[in-house]
Amino acid sequence: MRTLLPVRHAMQQARNRRLPNWLRLAYWAAAHADENGHARAYPGDLRRLLAVDAHEVSRAIRLAKARGLLAESSHAGCLVLAGCATSACDAEHQELA
Protein backbone atom coordinates (compact mmCIF):
# COMPACT_ATOMS: atom_id res chain seq x y z
CA MET A 1 0.00 0.00 0.00
CA ARG A 2 1.26 3.50 -0.84
CA THR A 3 1.78 6.18 1.75
CA LEU A 4 0.35 9.67 1.37
CA LEU A 5 3.72 11.28 0.70
CA PRO A 6 4.46 9.43 -2.56
CA VAL A 7 0.90 10.02 -3.81
CA ARG A 8 1.13 13.70 -2.91
CA HIS A 9 4.50 13.96 -4.67
CA ALA A 10 3.17 12.16 -7.75
CA MET A 11 0.20 14.55 -7.95
CA GLN A 12 2.50 17.57 -7.57
CA GLN A 13 4.57 16.28 -10.46
CA ALA A 14 1.45 15.52 -12.52
CA ARG A 15 0.47 19.19 -12.19
CA ASN A 16 3.97 20.48 -12.98
CA ARG A 17 3.63 22.20 -16.35
CA ARG A 18 7.40 22.29 -16.76
CA LEU A 19 7.42 18.52 -17.27
CA PRO A 20 6.50 16.92 -20.60
CA ASN A 21 2.90 15.74 -20.84
CA TRP A 22 3.86 12.06 -21.18
CA LEU A 23 5.70 12.21 -17.85
CA ARG A 24 2.87 14.10 -16.17
CA LEU A 25 0.45 11.35 -17.24
CA ALA A 26 2.74 8.69 -15.80
CA TYR A 27 2.82 10.55 -12.47
CA TRP A 28 -0.98 10.91 -12.55
CA ALA A 29 -1.33 7.19 -13.20
CA ALA A 30 1.02 6.38 -10.31
CA ALA A 31 -1.02 8.58 -7.97
CA HIS A 32 -4.37 7.09 -9.03
CA ALA A 33 -3.52 3.43 -9.67
CA ASP A 34 -5.51 0.80 -7.83
CA GLU A 35 -4.03 -2.42 -6.45
CA ASN A 36 -4.11 -3.88 -9.98
CA GLY A 37 -2.03 -1.08 -11.50
CA HIS A 38 -4.97 0.57 -13.29
CA ALA A 39 -5.73 4.28 -12.99
CA ARG A 40 -9.25 5.04 -14.13
CA ALA A 41 -9.76 8.38 -15.86
CA TYR A 42 -13.24 9.77 -16.38
CA PRO A 43 -14.05 11.67 -19.58
CA GLY A 44 -12.14 14.95 -19.61
CA ASP A 45 -9.91 14.22 -16.58
CA LEU A 46 -6.69 13.98 -18.57
CA ARG A 47 -7.54 16.87 -20.89
CA ARG A 48 -8.15 19.10 -17.86
CA LEU A 49 -4.97 17.93 -16.15
CA LEU A 50 -2.80 18.68 -19.17
CA ALA A 51 -4.90 21.60 -20.49
CA VAL A 52 -4.78 20.14 -24.02
CA ASP A 53 -7.18 18.59 -26.51
CA ALA A 54 -7.95 14.87 -26.84
CA HIS A 55 -5.40 14.44 -29.66
CA GLU A 56 -2.60 15.68 -27.40
CA VAL A 57 -3.74 13.37 -24.58
CA SER A 58 -3.50 10.44 -27.00
CA ARG A 59 -0.05 11.59 -28.08
CA ALA A 60 1.13 11.83 -24.46
CA ILE A 61 -0.19 8.32 -23.76
CA ARG A 62 1.57 6.99 -26.86
CA LEU A 63 4.87 8.60 -25.76
CA ALA A 64 4.56 7.29 -22.19
CA LYS A 65 4.01 3.79 -23.61
CA ALA A 66 7.05 4.16 -25.89
CA ARG A 67 9.17 5.14 -22.88
CA GLY A 68 8.00 2.11 -20.92
CA LEU A 69 6.07 4.02 -18.25
CA LEU A 70 2.58 2.87 -19.27
CA ALA A 71 1.48 -0.56 -20.47
CA GLU A 72 0.43 -1.03 -24.09
CA SER A 73 -3.16 -1.56 -22.95
CA SER A 74 -3.36 2.02 -21.63
CA HIS A 75 -5.87 4.40 -23.16
CA ALA A 76 -7.54 7.67 -22.16
CA GLY A 77 -10.08 5.86 -19.98
CA CYS A 78 -7.55 3.74 -18.11
CA LEU A 79 -3.83 4.32 -17.70
CA VAL A 80 -2.07 1.08 -16.78
CA LEU A 81 1.30 1.22 -15.05
CA ALA A 82 3.91 -0.76 -16.98
CA GLY A 83 4.79 -4.00 -15.25
CA CYS A 84 2.21 -3.49 -12.50
CA ALA A 85 -1.10 -4.67 -13.96
CA THR A 86 -2.32 -7.90 -12.44
CA SER A 87 -5.61 -8.07 -14.35
CA ALA A 88 -7.40 -6.67 -17.38
CA CYS A 89 -9.72 -3.66 -17.20
CA ASP A 90 -13.28 -4.20 -16.06
CA ALA A 91 -15.89 -3.70 -18.80
CA GLU A 92 -17.07 -0.49 -17.13
CA HIS A 93 -13.48 0.68 -17.08
CA GLN A 94 -13.39 1.14 -20.87
CA GLU A 95 -14.64 4.74 -21.06
CA LEU A 96 -12.74 7.05 -23.37
CA ALA A 97 -12.03 10.72 -22.67
The tally of CA atoms less than 13 A away on the side-chain side of residue 39 is 26
Each domain of the chain, given as residue ranges in start order, spans 4-93
- The pLDDT of residue 86 is 63
State yes or no: pLDDT of 2 exceeds 60. Answer: no
State yes or no: pLDDT of 96 exceeds 90. Answer: no
- The pLDDT of residue 83 is 86
Q: What is the CATH number of domain 4-93?
A: 1.10.10
For 77, phi and psi rounded to 5 degrees? Answer: -90, -15
Contact 84, 33 (CB under 8 A): yes
22 Cβ contact partners less than 8 Å away, ≥ 6 residues apart: 60, 61, 63, 64, 67, 69
Q: Rounded to whole angstroms, how far apart are CA atoms 71 and 81? A: 6
State yes or no: pLDDT of 3 exceeds 90. Answer: no
Residues belonging to the chain: 97
Distance of CA 63 to the CA centre of its chain: 12
The 10s digit of each residue's pLDDT in 38-87 is 999 999 999 999 999 999 999 999 999 999 999 999 999 999 999 876 66
- The pLDDT of residue 84 is 75
State yes or no: pLDDT of 31 exceeds 50. Answer: yes
